[in-house]
Amino acid sequence: MTDHPDAVATVQAPTEHDGILSWVAEVAELTAPDRIVFCDGSRAEWDRLSAVLVDKGTFVPLTAKPDSFWCVSDPEDVARVEDRTFICSENRADAGPTNNWVDPLDMRTVMTEHYRGAMAGRTMYVIAFCMGPLDAEDPKYGVQITDSEYVAVSMRIMTRSGAQVWEKLTAGTDFVKCLHSVGAPLGSGQADVPWPCDTTKYISHFPESREIWSYGSGYGGNALLGKKCFALRIASVLGRDEGWLAEHMLILKLTSPQGNTHYIAAAFPSSCGKTNLAMLEPALEGWTAETVGDDIAWLRFGPDGRLYAVNPEAGFFGVAPGTGAKTNPNAIATIEAGNSIFTNTARTLDGDIWWEGLTDTPPARLVDWHGQEWTPKSGTPAAHPNSRYCTPIEQCPSVAPEWDDPAGVPISAIFFGGRRKTTIPLIAETFDWAHGVFTASVLSSETTAAAAGQVGVVRRDPMAMVPFLGYHVGDYFAHWLSMAEREGARLPKIFQVNWFRRGADGQFLWPGFGDNVRVLKWALERLDGAAEAIETPIGYLPTADALDLTGLDAAARDLVRHALSVDIDEWIAETASIDDWYASIGGDRLPGTLREQLTALKLRLAQT
């Protein structure tokens, strides 16, 4: 590899950072792009790249929304590929039982051959970005190299990027190397396809050298490397080493009718309600909810010993289906403002988008996510269940002014939830930090379309982080437990929630969405001991009267009683499944405290 080959010398690099320049040169030599473009993040660049995407047939401009585009992916490239995601730590044991592991040298060897010539006929874009506010005390920079215009325009929405970052990324500044190729080189004269990708895919992470190598996919979580790859997998390792937490959490500001403000964070697995809760329209009179983040939170100790949360992202990459004016009016208003990309939704014939749940009745005719004509009689979903909107956070009417505050917001309570038909009650308050960490460590959910594979299977998803952990899950639990040992720590209370419990008829027991504020209200009242609770083996639950159910009818209230029940037999079965989960982690790495918590839970259940 050469230091500064001609390919780079011929382009105007907006940086003198040697580490970046030599890496760009090295990748250019390997991948052989036709040209190199350093992205400046400008409006003109967005216009230029979206025009290229329209030309290629990737984007269809929407006429019903300003500066917005519809596109469909390759039908095989629609979700994160967990079976092709690798944590390439030097020691296999450090990746833990929940990750795929390949020796870093082997992975580099194999992937280097895939990358060789992979950008032929394409432009290589170099995107400088910053996860979190630019004027943070310790800003976390990344540079993504990609051969995808789709990725370049999406990164402009999802991260702080461009000229403002080049300016700060001065010589010697640390950055995470994020290398991405769709893996579809073009021979001379060969026409491009609308969604280039490869059937072979690798999403690889090198935690020790803090590098990401992604190959073969153009889809969000696989290709927008600032998001899951950096802000969760690599950042979880940074957090472990530097004493903070990188989590799959929304951040929400709640103000009561009395004017008391609290910030909360909540971790739910993919497609389990984070974005919806982050943009909540409270069903209770006088309550205000404001959005700080909808997917990722970085939690660091502040000088007062509290945990402060920062949203590292600048956009929403939200699940489209189920998002409508009734369930999430703030998301609808955000995308109405334009500047958005819609992937794998349906398109109307008059230049707008549509998906299941956007309106009660579908339009008579649509173009579906396969690009085929669709009518309500087609019998297939018009939008892919994991279709997404990509839109800037600052357009959100409910955005909190603090969303860009480098100090973050102090978290009063953390909520862990999943999608469970049975067993898990609507809400339970954990007894203390260790019990809270235990509860989060056994979090479970039915799988969704956000990841490739079977849908609806219950799996353990500790802290909703199982697809996003950059290291051993047992060490991660120890890291969570260690937060309590920090001198002067004033940690948030931990709660468990389940919006998705169902009755015998298969219907949801809880109305969800805007009504979730009723549950949050009880939790916040528990912070100063004002709300009534009963002690159960799994934690403190609201008494039937402690939840504010104003405005819900008698039938709905009946269902709430069921949603709040703790069925001892179901829980005994649950602990057996937790035994299996803990056994899979391995005794040497599972903190003893958690095993003791499990034993104590079994004892409480047996004594009930």
Out of 450, 473, 483, 509, the only residue in the binding site for ligand GTP (CB under 6 A) is: 450
**Number of residues binding to ligand GTP, judged by CB under 6 A:** 21
Of 216, 239, 273, 436, which lies in the binding site for ligand GTP, with binding defined by CB under 6 A?
A: 273
Binder of residue 499, out of Mn ion, ligand GTP, none (CB less than 5 to 8 A by kind): ligand GTP
The least distance separating ligand GTP from the CB of residue 335, rounded to whole angstroms, comes to 13
Cα–Cα distances (Å) from 224 to 369, 502, 590, in that order, read 21, 35, 32
Distance CA 388, CA 369 (A): 11
Quote the CA–CA distance of 433 and 585 in Å, as a whole number.
21
> 512 contacts which partner out of Mn ion, ligand GTP, none, CB within 5 to 8 A by kind?
ligand GTP
Residue type, 298: W
Which of the ranges 100-108, 474-482, 512-520, 592-600 carries the binding residues for ligand GTP, by CB under 6 A?
Answer: 512-520
| Between 44 and 457, CB nearer to ligand GTP | 457
The reply to whether 295 sits near ligand GTP by the rule CB under 6 A is yes
Distance CA 479, CA 86 (A): 22
Contact 257, 454 (CB under 8 A): no
Q: How many helices (H) and strands (E) does the chain have?
A: 16, 30
Q: Report in angstroms how near the CB of residue 558 gets to ligand GTP at its nearest.
A: 18
Considering the complex, what minimum distance in angstroms separates the CB of residue 37 from Mn ion?
29
Which of 398, 516, 536, 597 is close enough to bind ligand GTP by CB under 6 A?
516
Beta bridge partners of 263: 253, 411
220 or 436: whose CB is closer to ligand GTP?
A: 220
3-state secondary structure 172-200: CCCCEEEEEECCCCCCCCCCCCCCCCCCC
| Closer residue to Mn ion, CB minimum distance, 390 or 478 | 390
Under rule CB under 6 A, residue 118 binds ligand GTP:
no
Is 272 near ligand GTP (CB under 6 A)? yes
Residue that has been written with the tokens 């382009």 in this structure: 11
Tell me which residues in 344-373 interact with ligand GTP (CB under 6 A): none
Q: Active-site residue among 88, 229, 272, 396?
A: 272
Identify the bridge partners of residue 411 per DSSP, sorted by sequence position: 263
Among 336, 354, 352, 335, CA closest to 344: 354
Is 319 a residue that touches ligand GTP (CB under 6 A)? yes
Find out whether 233 and 205 touch, Cβ atoms under 8 Å: yes
- Residues 85, 161, 214, 271: which binds ligand GTP (CB under 6 A)? 271
| Cα distance between residue 179 and residue 28, in whole Å | 11
Q: Residue by residue, what is the 3-state secondary structure of 383-401?
A: CCCCCEEEEEHHHCCCECH
Q: Which of 58, 68, 222, 270 binds ligand GTP (CB under 6 A)?
A: 270
Question: Which stretches does DSSP call E strand in 340-457?
Answer: 341-343, 346-348, 353-354, 366-367, 373-374, 388-392, 409-417, 427-429, 444-446
**Which of residues 61, 322, 371, 453 is near ligand GTP by CB under 6 A?**
322
Cβ nearer to ligand GTP, comparing 141 with 316: 316
Binding mask 282-301 for Mn ion (x = CB under 5 A): -------------x------
Residue closer to ligand GTP by CB (options 102, 203) is 203
Nearest residue to Mn ion, by Cβ distance, number only: 275
For residue 177, the one-letter residue type is K
What secondary structure does DSSP assign to 133-149, as a single string?
Answer: -TT-SS-EEEEEEES-H
- Site membership for ligand GTP, residue 513 (CB under 6 A): yes
The per-residue DSSP string of 461-502 comes to -GGG-GGG-SS-HHHHHHHHHHGGGSTT--PPEEEEE-TT-B
Nearer to ligand GTP, 287 or 499 (CB): 499
Q: How far is the CB of 270 from Mn ion (least distance, A)?
A: 5
Nearer to ligand GTP, 87 or 497 (CB): 497
272 in catalytic set = yes
**Is position 508 an interface residue for ligand GTP (rule: CB under 6 A)?**
yes
Q: Which stretch binds ligand GTP (CB under 6 A): 4-12, 106-114, 315-323, 568-576?
A: 315-323
Give the Cα separation of 383 and 342 in Å (integer): 11
The span of 27-35, 40-48, 318-326, 555-563 binding ligand GTP (CB under 6 A) equals: 318-326
Which element (helix H / strand E) includes 326? Answer: none
Torsion over CA: 379, 385, 389, 393 (sign):
positive
Q: Return the one option of Mn ion, ligand GTP, none that residue 321 interacts with (CB less than 5 to 8 A, by type).
A: ligand GTP
Nearest CA to 466 out of 87, 76, 78 is that of 87
Is residue 499 within the footprint of ligand GTP (CB under 6 A)? yes
Helix (H) or strand (E) holding 130, with range, is strand 123-131
Toward ligand GTP, which CB reaches closer, 165 or 520? Answer: 520
Contact 255, 490 (CB under 8 A): no
**Under rule CB under 5 A, residue 395 binds Mn ion:** no
The piece of 94-102, 112-120, 199-207, 509-517 that touches ligand GTP (CB under 6 A) is: 509-517
> In whole angstroms, how close is the CB of 557 to Mn ion at the nearest point?
30
- What SS3 state is found at 8? helix
Rounded to the nearest whole angstrom, what is the least distance from the CB of residue 585 to ligand GTP in the complex? 24
Which residue type, as a one-letter code, is found at position 284?
L
Residue type, position 567, single letter: D
Structural contact between residues 287 and 524, judged by C-beta atoms closer than 8 angstroms: no
Using CB under 5 A as the binding rule, whether residue 275 contacts Mn ion is answered as yes
What 3-state DSSP class applies to 305? coil
Pick the closer one to Mn ion by CB: 330 or 597. Answer: 330
DSSP notation for 233-279: IIHHHHHHHHT-EEESEEEEEEE-TT--EEEEEEE--TTSSHHHHHT
Minimum CB distance to Mn ion, residue 495 (Å): 20
Report if residue 416 touches ligand GTP, rule: CB under 6 A.
no
Q: Which stretch binds ligand GTP (CB under 6 A): 32-40, 185-193, 298-306, 320-328?
A: 320-328
Residue whose CB is less far from Mn ion, 275 or 597: 275
- Cα end-to-end distance, the chain, whole Å: 68
Catalytic positions are 272
List residues near Mn ion by CB under 5 A.
Answer: 270, 274-275, 295, 318
List residues near ligand GTP by CB under 6 A.
Answer: 268, 270-276, 295, 318-319, 321-322, 327, 450, 499-500, 508, 512-513, 516
